[in-house]
Amino acid sequence: MLEHGGRLRRAAQHYGIPLADWLDLSTGINPHAWPVPPVPAAAWHRLPEDGDGLEAAAAAYYGTDQLLPVAGSQPAIQALPALIPGERVTVLAPTYAEHPQAWRGRTLRALAAEEIDAAIDDTDVLLLVHPNNPSGARFPRERLLGWHARLAARGGWLVVDEAFIDTEPAESLAVAAGRDRLVVLRSLGKFFGLAGARVGFVLAPAALRESLADLLGPWTLSGPARHVARAALADRAWQDAMRERLQGEAARLATLLRHSGLGEPAGPALFQWVRRPDAQAVQDRLARAGILVRRFDEPASLRFGLPPDEAGWSRLAAALDNLHGPA
């Protein structure tokens, strides 16, 4: 099983720091989660049913009704290779490791952002996380649609995981969902901060959605998860205010990292990523101060999520100031 951020209990045990004393910046999840209201008892007692308003709320939010609710993006990530043909699969490097893991057994090619265009006509499946995790790399929407057209003309597919795009909805390909050989993955885990609810959507042509629904089986989302997701997707006032807040905090984090001497950061609104040849040592130094960040080995780099409050911002600033002092 692949490693992910958020393994706070393991870090607490390793460093001997109580769980409650950590500042966890390892996940890229919005620390200001949508405020979940009480869940009606019926959501716990009855089997989940379609027609409860979830699909309608999602269609209004994403701008398309060509969608299938799933238990977060992960089941779709693992199931799509069984439904999409093609031997030659191209992914962006570095990227979210679950994607290339799911396509193992195919001819897999990992390319830098500037190499993608030249590879389109020699690819059966182009798989992108957009904005990319962890590098934050992104492409103009029209370029993505152009790549899709080139792929589809040859029977190829474009699969785009938009887990981090909610702060910039105009850049999403959601409204193009339903086009032949285009798959867009969305979820409520990052922007809404509802990772534990395990709610996602596959935006794709009807035939693929039907095959995926058959493969995943009934009741992929629990009743409570459907209730919470429906309300969160409909809360436009919270969404608008949160987009503005997260953009400001992303700029603040980038400035803090830049001024600390860690390098030039990049990323979407929910995290910042820096290349560091000494990434392991920096991660360890921060962990000894009770701050958990995500480390990547290829290339050596660190990903910083947003602190949840002013105390967290002050604590991170102090730890970064101490990075270059005696251990």
Mean pLDDT, residues 295-303 = 94
Q: Is 301 exposed, middle or buried (0-12, 13-18, 19+ CB in 10 A)?
A: buried
Whether residues 66 and 95 share a domain: the answer is yes
Residue 7: per-residue pLDDT: 79
Whether residues 60 and 186 share a domain: the answer is yes
pLDDT band at 41 (very low <50, low <70, confident <90, very high): very high
> Checking phi first, is residue 101 left (phi over 0); if not, alpha (psi -120 to 50) or beta?
alpha
Of the three residues 199, 234, 269, the one that is the final residue of a domain is 234
- Asked whether the predicted pLDDT for residue 152 surpasses 60, the reply is yes
Report the mean per-residue pLDDT for the chain.
Answer: 95
- Asked whether the predicted pLDDT for residue 92 surpasses 70, the reply is yes
Whether residues 133 and 246 share a domain: the answer is no
Mean pLDDT, residues 16-26 = 95
Mean pLDDT, residues 301-318 = 98
Q: Based on C-alpha coordinates, what's the Rg of the chain?
A: 20
Amino acid at site 203: L
- Domain assignment of residue 58, given as a range: 41-234
Mean pLDDT, residues 143-172 = 97
Distance, in Å, from the CA atom of 51 to the CA atom of 177, rounded to the nearest integer, reads 21
Q: Identify whether 3 is part of a domain.
A: no
Distance, in Å, from the CA atom of 187 to the CA atom of 133, rounded to the nearest integer, reads 14
For the record, the structure tokens of 37 come out as 């209201």
Residue 3: per-residue pLDDT: 56
Q: Identify whether 121 is part of a domain.
A: yes
Residue 89: per-residue pLDDT: 98
Mean pLDDT, residues 159-179 = 96
Tell me whether strands 182-187 and 157-161 are parallel, antiparallel or unpaired.
parallel
3-class SS of residue 53: coil
> Kindly report the CA angle at 223 between 221 and 227, in degrees rounded to 5?
100
Count of domains in the chain? 2
Whether residues 15 and 47 share a domain: the answer is no
Whether residues 137 and 154 share a domain: the answer is yes
Taking CA atoms, 58 is separated from 185, 197, 269, 317, in Å, by 13, 15, 22, 38
Residue 324: per-residue pLDDT: 75
Query: What is the full DSSP assignment across 116-172?
Result: HHHHGGG-SEEEEESS-TTT-----HHHHHHHHHHHHHTT-EEEEE-TT-TTSGGG-
For the record, the structure tokens of 204 come out as 């794709």
Whether residues 133 and 218 share a domain: the answer is yes
Percent of the chain predicted with pLDDT > 70: 97
Q: Is 259 exposed, middle or buried (0-12, 13-18, 19+ CB in 10 A)?
A: exposed
Q: How many helices (DSSP H) and strands (DSSP E) are in the chain?
A: 12, 12
Whether residues 142 and 260 share a domain: the answer is no
Whether residues 228 and 258 share a domain: the answer is no
Distance, in Å, from the CA atom of 62 to the CA atom of 186, rounded to the nearest integer, reads 9
Whether residues 227 and 305 share a domain: the answer is no
